[in-house]
Structure 1
Amino acid sequence: MKILIRKKNFITKVIRKTTFISIVIMMIFVLVASNEITHNQLGRTAQPLNVCLTTDSLACKDTSKEITLKPFIPDPKLNEQQRFLSVISQKLPTIPQPGTYEYTLLRTYGAVFVNQDVGIKLPQKDIFANEQETQQFQATLTMGHVDNTNDCYLQKSAADALNKARIQEHIPLKSGYGSGDCTRTFNTNLRFWHKYANNQILTKVQQGKEIKILGLVAPPGTSQHLWGLAIDLRVGTKEQRKALNQNGWFQTVENDVPHWTYVGLPEENLPLFGFNKQVIRGITYWITPL
């Protein structure tokens, strides 16, 4: 008799526990359904957390509703060069030493490394050795189409920002149509170099004896166009420049008039990130402080 009572009590406990678990599961299902939370949404919420856990480049803020990423803001007490280097050190594994070829290239083309857009991907170095390295990097990019062009593509955030500017104002590509104005292959970069320069000039650039050529054409494997963050445009009015600046696009390569770089920052914030404003022949350039 006692054994039967114990069995009955055990069965009752099991039923109660199973019922409790079922109720909890049902409540969770109802809550999820009522808030229209999907699997993809949960995945997107988890993604920023993974970024926070795996990198020190961005500070994270955890709220009861969502996890947001804060951009890296340099210490305003630092000088211009220190502020710029503190930002790009969050992006580049190694900062080149002053006087090196890599440092010269970083000074000329390194503006993109301040970009705080989490959708932008930056290279781990400022020189690609060949077409294979270039293709390997470009294969990892999320690309976007530049509206009203045949085959002009940029990294998606850059393309979206450019498309917004071109809605505000008519801003044609330099060539009017060509993909060469946008993201380029290593071989295209090489072809442009040979159009304006040669191996002897490249040697002088590597030795630090020639830098003016960098405002005309980028040496092989070094162009911002390889990273999907630059475009050549025909810009001639203040309204066009204003539209581009309002959407994060600036001229950052001194004397390269058609060349525009996607920095992704408001113009008023550029000095905070160390940029120097220089007006040359009526054109405003934002130059790195290196």
Structure 2
Amino acid sequence: MFKTIKAFILIFCFGAFLQSVNADGNLKFTDYNESKTSSVVFRSSLEMSLARRGLKSADFCDENDAVSRRVLKDYGAIFLADDKNLLLPPVCIFASEVSVTDFQKQMRIARARIGDAEIELQSEAMNALLAARREAITAGLNITPRDGAEAARRDYSDTLRLWNSRFFPALEHWRRLGKLTRSDAERLSSLSTQAQIEAVLELEERGVFFSKDFSKSILYSVAAPGASQHLSLLAFDANEYEHEKVRRILARHGWFRTVKNDSPHFTFLGVREKDLPARGLRKLESFGGEFWIPNMQ
């Protein structure tokens, strides 16, 4: 009897784990525990950060816009990074290549070669990453860039290219299945970038998803053009993201996962983990590890 019960428990737990992973290998968040740490609401902390930088929330992000609201919800942790030592974005979504280039020109940028890839990050972020990598190597581990140089710095055209790499295959997929007509696909392809993003999010509300495996939002697969954390040179995609010890080492050096369902993606916040709840972030835990996301109510 005891063996039967034990076997049932093991099967149930394993089944729950399988259900937590989608076809891309990314985690789904359903019944996992949230951090119970005392915290503040994301928007309050964001307002204070913007005020310190001399910015107004209305100029920073139009929260009447559905795309902007999603960017804050899904990628907003970066806006609460250490604003004393890092250059943070002046807007939640960059509108063009020119605006991204002007922003990146203001940064103190460091370059480093890791393996075959040369990556670029803001200097503080790079120093912390290299320190974390040294600690990992000492422990018999490693921290290396996923997909080469693209693991770190990106420009606006990179975000547009990655968006298109999901957008056009999804159009064809749903057209073949009859969820979209040829006329729908042509109309969506001809839209401006902003209008295209809005249209995709509306379709996804009806279950027509544009991620790589067509099972979830495109924003869990790639950022909207102009919205990627990589544009701020404060994001790094690591090959070793599944290793808990590597994640702990990165966290000690100010690097945290902040975009749920993007498991390899780490964001340099430059603060101690214990201080994150007071900055407006909350912790999500799953079988695949932890994510610090905006505490939005």
TM-score between both structures, scaled by the size of structure 1: 0.66
Q: Distance in 2 between matches of 1:156 and 1:275?
A: 24
Q: How does 1:49-88 map to 2 (within 5 A)?
A: 79-88=40-49
Give 1:89 deviation, angstroms: 3.0
Secondary structure of 1:268's match?
Answer: helix
Change (3 A) 1:281 1:98: farther
Alignment counterpart, residue 135 of structure 2, candidates 147, 153, 168: 168
Q: Which residue of 2 aligns with 1:251?
A: 257
Bigger mean CA offset, 132-141 vs 80-89: 80-89
Inter-partner Cα distance in structure 1 for 2:77 and 2:87: 14
Asked if structure 1 preserves the Cα contact closer than 8 Å seen for 2:163 and 2:222, the reply is: yes
Equivalent residues, number: 213
Mapped to 2, the partners of 1:79 and 1:246 lie a distance apart of 22
**Aligned-pair distance for 1:77?**
9.3
| Equivalent in 252, 255, 270 of residue 276 of structure 2 | 270
Q: Any unmatched runs of 5+ in structure 1?
A: 1-75
SS at match of 2:118: coil
Q: Secondary structure at the match of 1:219?
A: coil
Q: Which runs of 5+ in 2 are unaligned?
A: 1-36, 137-141, 169-187, 190-195, 206-215
Q: Does 1:106 align with 2:111?
A: no
Asked whether the equivalents of residues 249 and 260 of structure 1 are also in contact (C-alpha less than 8 Å), the reply is: yes
**CA distance in 2: counterparts of 1:208 and 1:126, whole angstroms:** 23
What is the alpha-carbon distance in structure 2 between the residues aligned to residue 289 and residue 189 of structure 1?
Answer: 26
Aligned-pair CA distance for 1:103: 2.2
Q: Pick closer, same or farther for the CA change 1:88–1:205 going to 2, 3 Å.
A: farther
CA contact (8 A) 1:249 1:264 kept: yes
- Is 2:281 aligned against 1:285? no
Q: Is the 8 A contact 2:132 2:249 kept in 1?
A: yes
Q: CA offset at residue 167 of structure 1?
A: 0.6
TM-align CA RMSD: 2.5
Q: Distance in 1 between matches of 2:99 and 2:250?
A: 31
CA drift at 1:221: 1.0
Alignment of 1:1-290 (within 5 A): 79-90=40-51, 91=53, 92-95=55-58, 96=61, 98-100=63-65, 101-149=67-115, 150-169=117-136, 170-175=142-147, 178-198=148-168, 202-205=197-200, 210=205, 212-234=217-239, 235-290=241-296
Q: Is the 8 A contact 1:147 1:163 kept in 2?
A: no
Query: Which range moves more in the overlay, 187-196 or 99-108?
Result: 99-108
Which structure has more RCO (C-alpha within 8 Å, separation ≥ 6)? 2
* TM-score where L is the length of structure 2: 0.65
SS at match of 1:197: helix
Higher Cα radius of gyration: 1
- Please report how far the alpha carbon of residue 191 of structure 1 lies from its aligned counterpart in structure 2 after TM superposition: 0.9
Change (3 A) 1:141 1:82: closer
